[in-house]
Structure 1
Amino acid sequence: MIEEARRRAYLGAMQVASWLPRVALPFAAPSRPELLQAPEQPEAEVPASAAPSAPPQQAQPTASRPAIPVIVPRPAAQARATAPEAEAEAQAPAPRAPVEAPPRFALQLLRAGACALLVELPTGEPLASRDPAYLLLKDLLRAAGLPDSPQLIGEPVRWPLLAGGSLDQGPQAAREFVQGFVAARLEESGPCTCLWLVGRPAVRFAGEGDEESLYRELQVEELGVAWAIPGLERLIEEPARKAELWRAMRRVRQRWMSQNQA
Structure 2
Amino acid sequence: MITELRRRAYLSAMQVASWLPRVELPFAAPSRPELLGTLVEPEVEVPIPLAEQVVEQRVAEAAPAYQPQAVEAPIARTKIEVPRPTVAARQGISQVAETEAQVVEPKVSVAPPRFALQLLRAGACAVLVELPTGEPLQGRDPAYLLLKDLLRAAGLPDSPQLIGEPVRWPLLARGQIDQGPDAALEFVQSFVGARLEEQEPCSCLWLVGLPAIRFAGEADAEAYNRELQVEGLGAAWALPGLELLMDEPERKRELWQAMRRVRQRWLANH
Task: Please indicate, yes or no, whether the TM-score normalized by the shorter chain is above 0.5.
Answer: yes
Question: What residue in structure 2 maps to residue 191 of structure 1?
Answer: 201
- Displacement after TM superposition at 1:183 (Å): 0.7
Give the alignment partner of residue 224 of structure 1, picking from 208, 211, 234: 234
Q: Deviations over 1:202-248 (max 9, x none)?
A: 00110111111110110111111000000000000000000000000
| Aligned equivalent of 2:152, options 121, 142, 148 | 142
CA distance in 2, matches of 1:252, 1:139: 16
Match of 1:153 among 144, 153, 163: 163
Q: Which has the larger radius of gyration?
A: 1
- In the alignment of these two chains, the number of paired residues is 191
SS in structure 2 opposite 1:259? coil
CA deviation string 1:26-48 (max 9, x = no partner):
xxxxxxxxxxxxxxxxxxxxxxx
Aligned to 1:56: none
User: Equivalents in 1 of 2:105, 2:227: separation in Å?
Assistant: 40
- The whole-number CA distance in structure 2 between the counterparts of 1:147 and 1:94 is 51
Matched, 1:173 2:166: no
Percent identity between the two aligned chains:
72
Gaps of 5+ in 2: 1-14, 16-80, 84-91
The whole-number CA distance in structure 1 between the counterparts of 2:104 and 2:238 is 40
Structure 2 vs 1, CA of residues 132 and 99 (structure 1 numbering), >3 Å: closer, same or farther? same
Task: Identify the residue that residue 234 of structure 1 maps to in structure 2.
Answer: 244
Structure 1 94/180 Cα, relative in aligned 2: closer, same or farther at 3 Å? closer
The normalised TM-score by structure 1 is 0.65
Rate the CA distance shift 1:159–1:75 in 2: closer, same or farther, 3 A: farther
Q: Report 1:1-262 matches (<5 A).
A: 95-260=105-270
Instruction: Give the structure-2-normalised TM-score.
Output: 0.63
Task: Name the aligned partner's letter for residue 196 of structure 2.
Answer: L
Structure 2 SS opposite 1:189: coil
Please, what is the CA RMSD of the aligned residues?
3.0
Q: Could you list the runs of 5+ residues in structure 1 that have no partner in the other structure?
A: 1-59, 61-73, 77-82
How far apart, in 2, do the equivalents of 1:96 and 1:256 lie? 46
| Structure 1 stretches of at least 4 aligned residues deviating more than 4 Å after TM superposition | none
- In 2, Cα distance between equivalents of 1:122 and 1:228: 17
Shift of 1:193: 0.4
The whole-number CA distance in structure 1 between the counterparts of 2:137 and 2:259 is 23
